[in-house]
Amino acid sequence: MISIPNTKTAKKNLRQSLKRREKNLERKKAFQHIVKQLKKAIAAGDQTQVKELVPQVMKAADKAAKKHLIHPNKAARLKSRLMKRVQAASRP
């Protein structure tokens, strides 16, 4: 059952939450996209692209955690796991 807002403030809250949801989904997609790019670069063995993407991914993970898109512990775990992958890929 869908609840329809009755009061003026409830209508405004609904508008705000829909806008926030849209922005959050865009931010989350952008974050996931850059992580995916890094994973592809690691798999391909493209060291120059990996070096460019690592700082971007770290920044994006911190921002996502700050904006409450993901939990801070998830951001830390993701960064740790990605750095392990990067280091393993850089070794001959």
pLDDT band at residue 2 under the 50/70/90 scheme = confident
Mean pLDDT of the 61-69 span? 94
Q: Are 28 and 64 in contact (CB under 8 A)?
A: yes
What are the boundaries of each domain within the chain?
A: 46-92
Query: Which amino acid makes up residue 71?
Result: H
pLDDT at 1 over 70: no
pLDDT band at residue 90 under the 50/70/90 scheme = confident
User: What is the per-residue pLDDT for 88?
Assistant: 93
Say which DSSP state 39 is in. H
pLDDT digits (tens, 9 = 90+) for 3-49: 788 999 999 999 999 999 999 999 999 999 999 999 999 999 999 99
Q: Are 45 and 89 in contact (CB under 8 A)?
A: yes
Alpha carbon separation from 51 to 5, 19, 31, 37, 71 (Å, rounded): 50, 35, 17, 12, 25
Mean pLDDT of the 45-71 span? 94
